[in-house]
């Protein structure tokens, strides 16, 4: 379509070009963009023409006349969203409305709850590159209004004192252990030493530590995330859900405001928790103790996964049913299977992920890891995660450098105090007791993933640039795979010490 000068003036602020088949919408409210995209399924017009038609018929602010027109087009878009998304449940329309959310001063504990949504993007304040200030931690009302309020503050203040008072000494230790190389700039070296120091001292930070997170959602995913927050037993989660809803509704009046507490989520969680308590007995208190490290167990996997993956790789180049391909693959020699894997993997560069054919097998791992490592492994949201509450039941990890600093004894004493406080609070509120648990304590989580995601986790988290703790987890995942499927494991990218 050729546009008149008048038409081009009307929409010039909102589209990136007028003559290409690919263009970007800009400077438009998310709900209006979502509505434009929804119209295309029933309209013969292109997206630019739909926008132009809406502006001419309904009015929209634009600069060609130097004055803003009425917001009728936005109001029409809101009516459209209310009718089709909220009223008739056509939620796919809402996926085209995108919002960026900045969240400050929420607990580390809450970030893991908030980030438990697949279809979103997150960036979180790093415990490696940022120093956390004393007193900057969440104080839940249920704890502060109880008889444990003062001891909660006292214990968490002691944890932060250990963190801040030993920072300089730890930096000095790492400067001595890792002298500056000539190739390093002063800024890079300072960042390198700071990272080493933060990596060790982060173990003492409690889950209540306040942090920041940025998130990008489409409106459909955001509504689900807000539902989950509002239905969560944690008061801080409910408050965050209300705040997000309030702010999102300013940008997306309809799509940002319709999420409510979900009885299915809330009541099912409570009912299942009650059954678990009835049917399974657990010791209420276990000794808070140092443990050797993290544990990774491969619980379930498909015995014929290697054959299935070879068959899947061949399948898209053929025109016969999968079962016939698999039957043929099972008769191939190991050398021929290896040749197929070799061709499939050998051209992968560092930036690449394997092609999707290797998604046709799954693995279930149970991982018992320190909460600091969990924060990083949890970010792999393509897999399915079922996680237990954070506690002090499974012991704590001690970074070896603390012994070199001469601080291990003091550290272990702090872990003991935090453990005692946890058990006291957990007697009446296990969910709030999580806040006083330092990142050194281990947490148990169930992960189910396909082999492509397993490849990604092992490759990324075993990197020598990563934290020791989650590197060990990724390496152990690789070793577990190697035990049962050595032919496949041979082609996985892993960095071993």
The structural domains of the chain, ordered by start, are 5-96 (no CATH), 97-140+206-281 (3.30.70.3180), 286-302+361-497 (3.30.1360.170)
Which tens digit of pLDDT belongs to each residue from 35-91? Answer: 888 877 778 899 999 889 888 887 655 444 444 443 556 666 666 666 655 665 656
What is the model's pLDDT at position 86? 60
What is the model's pLDDT at position 66? 44
Looking up tokens 């002691």 gives: 158
d(CA 318, CA 314): 7
What is the model's pLDDT at position 37? 85
Yes or no: say if 415 and 407 are a contact pair by the CB < 8 Å rule. no
What is the model's pLDDT at position 85? 58
Q: Look over the chain and give the mean of its residue pLDDT values, rounded to a whole number.
A: 91
C-alpha of 8 from chain center? 42
C-alpha of 121 from chain center? 8
Kindly tell me the burial class for residue 351, based on how many C-beta atoms sit within 10 Å of its own C-beta (0-12, 13-18, 19 or more): exposed
Kindly tell me the burial class for residue 88, based on how many C-beta atoms sit within 10 Å of its own C-beta (0-12, 13-18, 19 or more): exposed
What is the model's pLDDT at position 88? 53
d(CA 340, CA 334): 10
Q: Which two tokens stand for residue 34?
A: 């979502």
Helices of type H across 332-381: 334-345, 371-377
Yes or no: say if 122 and 213 are a contact pair by the CB < 8 Å rule. yes
CB neighbours (10 Å) of residue 325?
Answer: 20
What is the model's pLDDT at position 31? 85
Which residues of the chain register pLDDT less than 70?
59-93, 284-287
- Say which DSSP state 86 is in: I
Helix (H) / strand (E) containing 209: none
What is the model's pLDDT at position 62? 47
- Beta pairing partners, 441: 396
What is the model's pLDDT at position 405? 87
Helix (H) / strand (E) containing 66: none
Q: In what order do the strands lie in the sheet with 120-124?
A: 98-107, 210-218, 120-124
Helix (H) / strand (E) containing 442: strand 442-450
């Amino acid at each position: 379509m050729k546009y008149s000068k008048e038409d081009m003036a009307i929409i010039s602020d909102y589209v990136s070009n007028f003559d290409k088949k690919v263009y970007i919408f800009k400077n438009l409210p998310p709900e209006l963009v979502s509505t434009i995209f929804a119209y295309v399924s029933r309209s013969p017009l292109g997206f630019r023409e739909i926008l132009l038609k809406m502006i001419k018929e309904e009015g929209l602010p634009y600069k060609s006349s130097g004055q803003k027109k009425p917001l009728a087009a936005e109001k029409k878009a809101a009516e459209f969203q209310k009718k089709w998304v909220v009223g008739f449940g056509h939620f796919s329309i809402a996926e085209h409305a995108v919002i960026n959310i900045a969240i400050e001063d929420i607990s580390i504990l809450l970030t893991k709850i908030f980030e438990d949504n697949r279809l979103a993007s997150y960036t979180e304040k790093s415990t490696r590159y940022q120093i956390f200030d004393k007193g900057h931690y969440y104080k839940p009302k249920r704890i502060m209004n109880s008889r444990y309020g003062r001891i909660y503050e006292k214990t968490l203040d002691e944890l932060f004192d250990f963190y801040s008072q030993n920072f300089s000494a730890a930096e000095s230790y790492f400067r001595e252990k890792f002298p500056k190389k000539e190739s390093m700039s002063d800024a890079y070296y300072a960042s390198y030493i700071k990272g080493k120091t933060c990596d060790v001292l982060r173990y003492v930070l409690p889950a209540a530590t306040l942090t920041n997170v940025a998130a990008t959602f489409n409106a459909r995913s955001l509504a689900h995330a807000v539902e989950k927050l509002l239905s969560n037993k944690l008061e801080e989660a409910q408050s965050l859900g209300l705040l997000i809803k309030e702010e999102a509704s300013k940008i997306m009046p309809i799509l940002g405001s319709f999420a409510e507490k979900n009885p299915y989520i809330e009541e099912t969680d409570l009912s299942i928790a009650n059954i678990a308590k009835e049917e399974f007995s657990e010791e209420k208190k276990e000794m808070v103790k140092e443990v050797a490290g993290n544990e990774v167990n491969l619980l379930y996997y498909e015995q014929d996964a290697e054959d299935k993956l070879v068959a899947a790789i061949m399948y898209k180049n053929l025109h016969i049913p999968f079962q016939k391909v698999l039957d043929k693959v099972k008769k191939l020699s190991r050398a021929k299977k290896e040749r197929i894997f070799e061709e499939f993997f050998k051209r992968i560069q560092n930036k690449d992920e394997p092609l999707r054919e290797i998604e046709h097998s799954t693995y279930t791992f149970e991982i018992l890891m320190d909460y600091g490592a969990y924060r990083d492994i949890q970010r792999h949201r393509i897999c399915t995660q079922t996680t237990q509450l954070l506690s002090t039941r499974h012991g704590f990890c001690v970074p070896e450098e603390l012994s070199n600093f001469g601080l291990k004894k003091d550290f272990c004493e702090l872990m003991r105090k935090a453990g005692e406080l946890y058990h006291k609070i957990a007697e009446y509120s296990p969910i709030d007791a999580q806040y006083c648990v330092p990142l050194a304590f281990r947490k148990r989580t169930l992960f189910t993933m396909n082999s492509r995601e397993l490849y990604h986790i092992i490759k990324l988290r075993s990197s020598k640039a990563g934290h020791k703790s989650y590197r060990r987890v990724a390496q152990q995942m690789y070793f577990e795979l190697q035990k049962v499927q050595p032919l496949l494991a041979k082609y996985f990218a892993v960095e071993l010490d």
